[in-house]
A and B are shown apart, each in its own frame.
Chain A
Amino acid sequence: MYVAVKGGEKAIDNAHRLLAKKRRGSLDQDEISSDQIAQQFPLAVARVMGEGSLYDEDLAALALKQAAGDVTEAIFLLRAYRATLPRFGESLPMDTGKMRLSRRISATYKDLPGGQLLGPTFDYTHRLLDFSLRGAAKDAPVAEREKTEPRPDEIPLEQTPASCPRVFDFLVQEDLASAEEAAEEKSAVPDITRVPLTLPACREERLQILARGDEGFLLALAYSTQRGYGRTHPFAGEIRIGRCEVWIAPEELGFPVLIGEIEVSECETVNQFSARQDEMPRFTRGYGLAFGYAERKAMSMALVDRALRAAEFGEEIVSPAQEEEFVLAHCDSVEASGFVSHLKLPHYVDFQSELDLLRKIRQGDMAEKEQKSVRANGGEV
């Protein structure tokens, strides 16, 4: 007699055990520590923090370790953790003009106040595998300079420029671009994690969603605008990476308090000019901001932000990157990977109804064809 499949609980326990084994790899190797990941995979950590929307290098590193290096899974772990945290308040707007820069470049000016600062970048590396990094690097000699030179986050405050003007500030001074509206003039910025999104969304909401959005998805959309699907003629006005202070102003204190410093990557693109009603034409801008060292993400975000401002500048919406609903509804990797992977769950009840329906339709078709052929034959007689 047929016995139905049972034992889901046991199967789940076994799956967890096997996964732990897969993650640990060969026991001949030392187990990697999450501190090592935090220090030596800073770019992966930045991506997890950004898309996980929680600035915590240690937890992001832990998530990466637990996820066996699967960045999307690590982002999900951090998000789920974030959802349980209480909200104590909101920070004051962060002033990226006062960033302690580790990198700052502008493609629109040869030189500019504050200068170009190349900083740590892959940009001019030749992409040749460096075999000296292979295997355990325990014995590799550490160059004297490497030991003594401070990392960007170790540079004492007094040695960093107090403030470095932004490229857009020059353009605004000349009235060649509009100033961004100051946050104070608006009512509180809606928090997309607390207030259900209503479409059309405001730019503040869009930027929050893009900041959490999947880098790969945004990169592809940004790329599509360059290839003509919603062209915006961008220039990399400025990219800056560094550490910024975070301030809060608790109501009961009545004055602002510094709570820490975070590393961010910011990108502002100078885009094709546009003239709103009765106004002189001005350059437009796209904005991107991401936690940590995440230049590609910040640039992609800026391009997509600009594309999504199409309606604001009276541009025709013809391409995916300009479609607000399309972009906002599909850019979150936690949502996307969950829904795609849910196809793995059993669907046999629904499949059964489809089977029945298809059989029924086919029976109907056969009967009809038979009838037709009978009629056709009858006609001949």
Chain B
Amino acid sequence: MNERMNETAAPPQSEDSYNFAYLDEQTKRMIRRALLKAVAIPGYQVPFSGREMPLPYGWGTGGIQLTAAILGENDVLKVIDQGADDTTNAVSIRRFFARTAAIKTTTRTQEASVIQTRHRIPETPLQHGQIMVFQVPIPEPLRFIEPSERETRAMHALEDYGVMHVKLYEDIAAFGHIATSYAYPVRVAGRYIMDPSPIPKFDNPKLHKSPALMLFGAGREKRIYAVPPYTEVESLDFEDHPFEIPRWESCCALCGSQESYLDEIVTDDEGGRLFLCSDTDYCETRQNAMNMTKGGA
């Protein structure tokens, strides 16, 4: 149990030369102002003058800058990558904040006040007061259809989203399905089309009217956007091809969950497959509960 909770960071080095949570106050204020605009215009991408961080672009610099700008001494931080707390990038980012901000960290979804994530939303329902920080590689949902920023900005301004519907419909014509399984576009509060970051579309419904505040940071592309709590977030679809989330025929081999998102593990070279929860905290909590029941019985 202890190894899951509040892992102690590597012995502090000479971090005193950096400000609390690494960023200087000027940069934090600039990000904070952008965040307030993002909340006021749900789903709209606010440009901000992102800084080089000591981690490479593409590895969560947007999320890290947002987390650094919002984090306070009393926050409890959880960091996940692919739903897991112990993936190397999650470990590295958690360590970064434990070291530069000396804050409490956790792997428990329920105990966290701020959750930085790459590619997943936890299975445990989020609560009012929690803040999710998403790492975003390409914030522009229209980018793969129209590479020019000048053009896509005009499309958003005019609410001209025809190309997106055409693209989704072409998928249906070619494959019989909308061929987007992650970073599935959503419409926020009936206005902006937004990239929910590369979460599997399985997680899209968790964005809709969530009690938590959702913040999105794209460091390399220098954009910030947000979804306030209790905001409508619909996944794009068509009447004859409604949005559906994938279901597994198997359940988690460790905790038996049939509701959670499962990772497929190749166990041998003869087609052996195993399915496990991608959300490690959710899975371990269920396993512990099962063990308790067994022990009690």
Residue positions of A touching B, CB distance < 8 A: 2, 4, 6-9, 11-13, 76, 79-80, 82-84, 86, 193-200, 325, 329, 334-335, 337-342, 345-350, 352-357, 360-361, 364-365, 368
The answer for the CA separation of A365 and B175 in the assembled complex, in Å, is 8
With A196-B48, A350-B198: A76-B56 Cβ-Cβ less than 8 Å: yes
Determine if A325 and B200 form an interchain contact, defined as CB atoms under 8 angstroms apart.
no
Pick the contact of B91 from A2, A8, A196 — CB < 8 Å? A8
- Contact: B53 with A83, CB < 8 Å? yes
* Pairs A-B, 3 closest by C-beta atoms: A338-B57, A342-B58, A353-B181
- Complex CA gap A79/B61 in Å reads 14
What sequence of 0s and 1s flags, for each residue 241-268 of chain B, a beta carbon within 8 Å of any chain A beta carbon?
Answer: 0000010000001100000011111010
Are A365's CB and B176's CB within 8 A? yes
* Chain B residues within 8 Å of A199, by CB: 149-150
Interface residues of B in 160-210 (CB under 8 A from A): 175-177, 179, 181-183, 198-202
Give the CA-CA distance A199 to B150 in the complex, in Å.
7
CB-based nearest B residue for A52: B52
Q: Hey, what's the 0/1 contact readout for B141-166 against A, CB within 8 Å counting as 1? A: 00000001110000000000000000
27 A-B pairs (CB sep. < 8 Å): A2-B253, A2-B267, A4-B254, A4-B276, A7-B86, A9-B95, A12-B88, A12-B91, A80-B52, A84-B24, A193-B51, A197-B222, A198-B47, A325-B150, A335-B57, A345-B58, A345-B59, A347-B82, A348-B263, A349-B83, A349-B120, A349-B200, A350-B200, A352-B262, A353-B181, A357-B246, A361-B179
Could you tell me if A82 and B91 are in contact, using CB atoms closer than 8 angstroms? no
Given contacts A361-B179, A364-B176, whether A355 and B150 have CB atoms under 8 Å apart is: no
Q: State whether B58 touches A334 (Cβ < 8 A).
A: no
Residues of A within 8 A of B10 (CB): 13
Tell yes or no: B295 within 8 A of A by CB. no
Which residues of B have CB within 8 Å of A354? 181-182
Chain A: minimal CB distance from B154 (Å): 11
Known: A196-B222, A334-B57, A341-B56. A2 touches B254 (CB 8 A): yes
Task: Please give me the residue from chain B that is nearest to A336 by CB atom.
Answer: B57
Binding site for A on B (CB under 8 A): 7, 10, 18, 22, 24, 26, 47-49, 51-54, 56-59, 61, 81-83, 86-92, 95, 118-120, 137, 148-150, 175-177, 179, 181-183, 198-202, 220, 222, 246, 253-254, 261-265, 267, 274, 276, 278, 280
Min CB distance A100 to B, Å, is 32
B150 CB contacts on chain A under 8 angstroms: 199-200, 325
Apart from the given pairs A8-B91, A349-B263, A357-B181, 16 other A-B contacts in the complex at a CB distance below 8 Å: A2-B274, A9-B91, A79-B52, A83-B53, A84-B18, A86-B26, A196-B47, A197-B47, A325-B148, A340-B58, A341-B59, A346-B81, A349-B82, A353-B201, A355-B264, A361-B179
| Residue numbers in A under 8 Å from B7 (CB-CB) | 9
A43: min CB distance to chain B, Å: 23
Q: Are A360 and B177 in contact (CB under 8 A)?
A: yes
The listed residue (A86, A346, A350) touching B182 by CB distance below 8 A is: A350
The smallest beta-carbon distance between B164 and chain A, in angstroms, is: 18
Verify A83–B52 contact, CB threshold 8 A: yes
The distance in angstroms between the C-alpha atoms of A346 and B118, with both chains bound, is: 10
Please indicate which of the listed interface residues B57, B92, B182 has the most CB atoms of chain A within 10 Å of its own CB.
Answer: B57
Collect the chain A residues with CB atoms within 8 Å of residue B53's CB. Answer: 80, 83
Whether the pair A349, B261 counts as a contact (CB closer than 8 A) is yes
By a CB distance below 8 angstroms, the chain B residues around A6 are 86
Contact assessment for A342 and B177 in the assembled complex, using a CB-CB cutoff below 8 Å: no
Cβ 8 A contact of B220, one of A9, A339, A345, A365:
A339
CA distance A349 to B89 in the complex (A): 14
Closest residue on chain A to residue B177 by CB atoms: A361
- Could you say which residues of chain B place their CB within 8 Å of the CB of A80? 52-54
Most buried by B among A83, A348, A350, A352: A352
Q: Which residue of A lies closest to B94 (CB)?
A: A9
Instruction: Please give, as numbers and ranges, the residues of chain A lying within 8 Å of B61 by CB-CB distance.
Output: 338
Interface centre among B24, B137, B267 (most CB of A within 10 A): B24
